[in-house]
Chain A
Amino acid sequence: MSETINLLLVGTWQTIYMVVVSTLIATIFGVPLGVLLMVTDKEQILHNEPLNKILGTIVNIFRSVPFVILLIVLIPFTRLLVGKAIGTTAAIVPLSVAAIPFMGRLTETALREVDRGVIEAAQSMGASPFQIITKVLIPEALPSIAAGITITTINLVGYSAMAGVIGGGGLGDLAVRYGYQRFMLDIMLYTVAILVAMVQLIQFLGDILVKHLSRNR
């Protein structure tokens, strides 16, 4: 029994570690990516057709490769970045690479919802594109961006279940190795229960954050 608990604790910790760190990385890179995708598009403040096309294509490519394949394809890149290709820390690399374009698209969508008139008002006051991004676009879209981060985090919980492929561990890996391969049904059930609780909690916290950010609006 205590061994089961130990396994679950380690698995839970590994999942949290992978999800939290890759969510952070996905936000740090994905939000600026989304900004770039939005502002370089047609009729936007920094319209740049070639850049927009290139970024859009890269994002689409990464989003269309199944995550399991991405895990393997990225092994050399992971080794280059963190010095090893297997383990929980190593799994953060493919998780982040998968989540950055996702977060980018969600951010782009959030920014598109900002009222065109508000952007124009800022332009009419002589705001620079950088000022429009930092003082108008991001603050105005913040609740939607926060909702996007919530979705990305939940997605990463799902993706992290496949981290076992490169020895990343985590709850999903636990369910597969013990629950499925060794027929330890109780472990299977516990891991699923913990994952469900985790997703519920993330959604709950995310909703609170979004609500807080959109108060008074």
Chain B
Amino acid sequence: MIYIRNLTKVYHSASGNVRALEDVNLNIEKGDIFGIIGLSGAGKSTLLRCINMLEKPTSGSIEIDGVEMTRLSPSELKEMRKKIGMIFQHFNLLSSRTVRGNVAFPLEIAGLNKRAIDKKVENLLELVGLSDKADNYPSQLSGGQKQRVGIARALANDPKVLLCDEPTSALDPETTLSILNLLKDINRELGITIVLITHEMNVIKQICNKVAVIEKSRVVEQGPLIEVFKKPQTETARNFLKSVTLSEIPKELKDKIENLSHEHLEGKIIKIAFFGEITTEPVISSIIRKFDVDTNILYGNIDHIQGMPYGTLIVELRGKNGETDAALKYLKDLGLDVEVIENV
């Protein structure tokens, strides 16, 4: 659907040249919700804006639906852009127009007649749940409502692709969730391919099926979301994942572990990270059955990405005569990601 090859972008400014993108290659397939994550200044917006040529690439190619974007004439580009919707962090609505007027804007640009526009606008407002706000001005709307207008506007000309530049970064967590769910519905029901950039792993986790990590102008890692979650290849990816997985034991828990009474039993505090089908509950109970160990669950969290459970469990194991080690080996043999974090 969208194939980016050897994309490089250099900005020339008074203070020197900025290499904002360096040899970027991406494959985005039809129906994907493709997330691009990176820190501020990494080049995310530049990359997204190159896709619809708001920014002219310095070199490389961008192919959308078989069309080479870098070689289009200005009028061909205008036509192509009507099939690529875009939404923005700061919504970028026209303050001089009502909600209705904003959604009508791209349809006027495309030259539809008034009746067709009215009908389309009604449908779009219904889709984003803003029919009752049709005659309000953007200044009278909340952030979430403004983004809904932005989405309705971006969908007006039935695009095949929706580009999202930090669409939820100006929103509170609850509103973020509702906007992400709306995007997910749009992707599913209208079959629109979504490219979304963000600096928050949480956003990626909620809706993306694929992710690319961009760092200092380069894509350093990319793949299906689950793969990147399971086996991040780069430090950058691991750092982003920290924000959504338990990678450090909470301080309170640490203190508690240190104060655990040293009885005569040899004990270990272990961390089990699990991902996917394995449910830990039967695993824990089978340890108790199979080995002469006491188990004590100290901490646990579980979450889902794309309907798949993942999480961490911190368990205290106590047993005699090497039973603890045997239990540990049993867990490892089951293919679980087990780590001893403390011997007590």
Contacts and interface: CB of A to CB of B under 8 A. Distances in A.
B109 A217 contact: no
A5 to B, nearest CB: 46
B73 interface: no
A128 B93 contact: no
A125 interface: yes
A202 interface: no
Nearest to A127: B109
Contact of A126 (B79, B90, B94, B97): B79
A37 to B, nearest CB: 21
Interface string B85-100: 1101010111111000
A120 B54 contact: yes
Nearest to A125: B106
Nearest to B163: A124
A120 B92 CA distance: 8
A4 interface: no
Interface in B100-148: 105-106, 108-110, 137, 139-140
A29 to B, nearest CB: 24
A47 B80 CA distance: 22
A186 interface: no
A121 B92 contact: yes
Contact of A124 (B54, B79, B137, B139): B54
A124 B77 CA distance: 10
B84 interface: yes
A171 B88 CA distance: 54
Say whether chain B's binding surface is mostly helix, strand, loop, or mixed. mixed
A217 B139 contact: yes
A27 B145 CA distance: 37
Given A216-B140, A217-B137, A217-B139, A118 B93 contact: yes
A123 B94 contact: no
A126 B86 contact: no
Contacts of A121: 86, 88, 92-93, 153
Contact of B94 (A120, A128, A131, A139): A139
Interface string B291-314: 000000000000000000000000
Interface residues of A, number: 20
Given A124-B81, A125-B105, A128-B78, A118 B137 contact: no
A16 interface: no
Contacts of B88: 117, 120-121
B96 A123 contact: no
A151 interface: no
Contact of A140 (B80, B85, B95, B139): B95
Nearest to A139: B96
Interface string B215-240: 00000000000000000000000000
A158 B73 CA distance: 50
B52 interface: yes
B80 to A, nearest CB: 8
Contacts of A74: none
Nearest to A121: B92
A169 to B, nearest CB: 41
A115 B109 CA distance: 19
A142 interface: yes
B157 interface: yes
B82 A126 contact: yes
A115 B96 CA distance: 12
Given A124-B52, A124-B54, A139 B97 contact: yes
A126 B82 CA distance: 6
Contacts of B157: 125-126
B137 A131 contact: no
Contacts of A139: 94, 96-97
B81 A125 contact: yes
A145 to B, nearest CB: 12
Contacts of A127: 78, 109
A136 interface: yes
A131 B106 CA distance: 11
A117 B90 CA distance: 8
Nearest to A129: B74
A135 interface: yes
B100 to A, nearest CB: 13
B137 A140 contact: no
A166 interface: no
Contacts of A140: 94-96
A140 B94 CA distance: 7
Contacts of B108: 135
Interface of B: 52, 54, 77-82, 84-86, 88, 90, 92-97, 105-106, 108-110, 137, 139-140, 153, 157, 163
12 contacts: A115-B92, A117-B90, A118-B95, A120-B54, A122-B109, A125-B106, A125-B153, A126-B82, A127-B78, A127-B109, A135-B109, A216-B140
Identify the 3 closest CB pairs spanning chains A and B, nearest first: A126-B81, A216-B137, A121-B92
Given A121-B92, A131-B109, A139-B97, 12 more contacts: A115-B92, A117-B90, A118-B94, A124-B85, A125-B82, A125-B86, A125-B106, A125-B109, A126-B80, A127-B109, A135-B109, A140-B96
